Amino acid sequence: MTEHVSPRDVDRAARVPAPIALLAELTHRCPLACPYCSNPLELEATRSELTTEQWISVFNQAAALGVLHLHLSGGEPASRRDLVELTAAGAAAGLYTNLITSGVGLNERRIAELSDAGLDHLQLSLQGATPELADRVGGYKGGYERKIAVAQWTHAAGIPLTVNAVCHKQNMDQMADMLDLAVRLGARRIEIATVQFHGWAEKNRKALMPTREQVLRANAFVNEARKRLEGVIVIDYVPADHHSSYPKACMGGWGRTGLNITPSGRVLPCHAAESIPSLQFDSVMDRPLADIWYHGAAFNAYRGDHWMPDLCRTCERKEIDFGGCRCQAMAIAGDASATDPVCIRSPLRQTLVEQAEIDSRAEPPPFVYRSMRPAREDG
């Protein structure tokens, strides 16, 4: 896409820092079927995925742009046969390489190859602390056992490990057991994030929304565990939105710290940005990555404060949370430039909390699983 670049754009670009992180969604294929899948509702087909050479070009462009961290993600990135080659290319470009995986599609040999290729870090998702719950949430029988094995192979290969646990109504009460498991597996860090309700998770609100009591117990547990396990494991925690007073600084602010690239090469300011219908996204097939970052229309749409409603533009927190999450504003207010409805100052806050209360009290219905074509296990 070509577009006119005004002097104002150039001036704005001069004040935009380089991105720190690139999240490369190598594929949307995934063997799991999590009910809170964060991939877009419209998945990209295998035939439209960037080739090995195209991804390598993207990684080199990212390094030249100033990116430091390369997150290899999906779908399930191990579904790509060229994962080891792509990891080696990222490392050769000087990027810190992090694999975000369910573990399915990895085996001991492939992990050793990834280590040899220069993989710096591995993030493994965990859906529950018992095989029964983890396999039911992920919709994949035998997934839990594979994850435990992957964690052990990763540890043995000397690759630092983080465990990712998305928490919700049905597994939040296993938080202590998930933390114990992460410690036993040798993880240096655990990311406990409460489920976010945009995209597919919206279909499972009554099955996933935690109750106020669960959230309060979880908050207290994390505070206690952080002290108890200081020096053993780092605990990153994203509490439930509707029990917070202010929104989080989603993506560290729009177009400020990172970018996402979809399997076909579309460049997004965040993983859910395609839920905002007014935005148009450039592709790495048509335009250099640096040009997209600095001058792309989607990246400039919500940078700075020019787009903010008065409530945010005049608020003392606008440099802390940058007005919150644009995709959440779109999902709940129907307007991506509205104040994030999580904010206690938002006129929609009360509605958000009341709906969350109703969903959290509901008897959980069966999950609506994300159905994707099963990925082949390579290796």
Choices 113-121, 187-195, 230-238, 319-327 (CB under 6 A): range interacting with ligand FES = 319-327
Q: How far apart are CA 184 and CA 171, in angstroms?
A: 19
Compute the distance between CA of residue 338 and CA of residue 335 in angstroms, rounded to an integer: 6
Q: Which stretch binds ligand FES (CB under 6 A): 85-93, 113-121, 131-139, 269-277?
A: 269-277
Is residue 331 at the binding interface for ligand FES, with CB under 6 A as the rule?
Answer: no
- Contact with ligand FES (CB under 6 A): which of 126, 187, 207, 250? 250
Strand partners, 260: 23, 268
Q: What is the DSSP code (8-state) at residue 283?
A: B
Residue 124 in contact with residue 152, Cβ under 8 Å? no
CB of 245 to ligand SF4, least distance (A): 8
Is there binding between residue 329 and ligand SF4 (CB under 6 A)?
no
Cα–Cα distance for residue pair 228/78, rounded to 1 Å: 35
The answer to whether residue 119 forms part of the interface with ligand FES (CB under 6 A) is: no
From 79-87, 125-133, 231-239, 317-325, give the range in contact with ligand SF4 by CB under 6 A. 317-325
Contact 296, 284 (CB under 8 A): no
Other CB atoms within a 10 A radius of the CB of residue 282 amount to 24
Nearer to ligand SF4, 96 or 246 (CB): 246
By CB under 6 A, is residue 332 in contact with ligand FES?
Answer: no
Compute the least distance from the CB of residue 254 to ligand FES, in Å.
Answer: 6
Partner from ligand SF4, ligand FES, none binding residue 234, C-beta < 5-8 Å depending on class: none
Are 360 and 88 spatial neighbours (Cβ–Cβ below 8 Å)? no
How far, in Å, CA of 280 to CA of 297, rounded? 7
Shortest Cβ 336–ligand FES spacing (Å)? 8
For residue 87, give the H/E element and its range. Answer: helix 83-92
Give the 3-state secondary structure of residue 143: helix
**Do 166 and 125 contact (CB within 8 A), yes or no?**
yes
Nearer to ligand SF4, 50 or 250 (CB): 250
CB under 6 A: which stretch of 2-10, 70-78, 195-203, 319-327 binds ligand SF4? Answer: 319-327
- Asked whether position 239 contacts ligand SF4 by CB under 6 A, the answer is no
- Segment holding 165, helix H or strand E: strand 161-167
Residue closer to ligand SF4, measured from CB, 210 or 323 = 323
The distance between the two most distant Cα atoms of the chain, rounded to a whole number of Å, is 59
Q: Which residues pair with 189 in a beta bridge?
A: 162, 234
In whole angstroms, the minimum distance from the beta carbon of 257 to ligand SF4 comes to 17
Enclosing H/E stretch for 54: helix 52-65
Q: How many residues bind ligand SF4 (CB under 6 A)?
A: 14
327 binds, among ligand SF4, ligand FES, none (CB under 5 to 8 A by kind): ligand FES
Element (H, E) at 21: strand 21-25
Q: Long-range contacts for 291-294 (Cβ within 8 Å, ≥24 apart)?
A: 292/259, 292/267, 293/16, 293/18, 293/19, 293/65, 293/255, 293/259, 293/267, 294/13, 294/16
Q: Which of 28, 168, 205, 326 binds ligand FES (CB under 6 A)?
A: 326
34 marked as part of a ligand binding site: yes
Give me the least distance between CB of 307 and ligand SF4, in Å please.
Answer: 12
Which residue type does 13 have? A
241 binds ligand SF4 (CB under 6 A): no
317 binds, among ligand FES, ligand SF4, none (CB under 5 to 8 A by kind): ligand SF4
Q: Which of 52, 131, 246, 257 touches ligand SF4 by CB under 6 A? A: 246
Q: Does 315 bind ligand SF4 (CB under 6 A)?
A: yes
**Centroid of chain to Cα 112:** 25
Instruction: Tell me if 44 contacts ligand SF4 by CB under 6 A.
Output: no
Task: Give the binding site for ligand SF4 (CB under 6 A).
Answer: 246-247, 311-312, 315, 317-318, 321, 323-324, 339-340, 343, 345
Q: Which residues are annotated as a binding site?
A: 30, 34, 37
Task: Give the binding site for ligand FES (CB under 6 A).
Answer: 250-251, 270, 272-273, 325-327
Q: Which residues are annotated as a binding site for [4Fe-4S] cluster?
A: 30, 34, 37
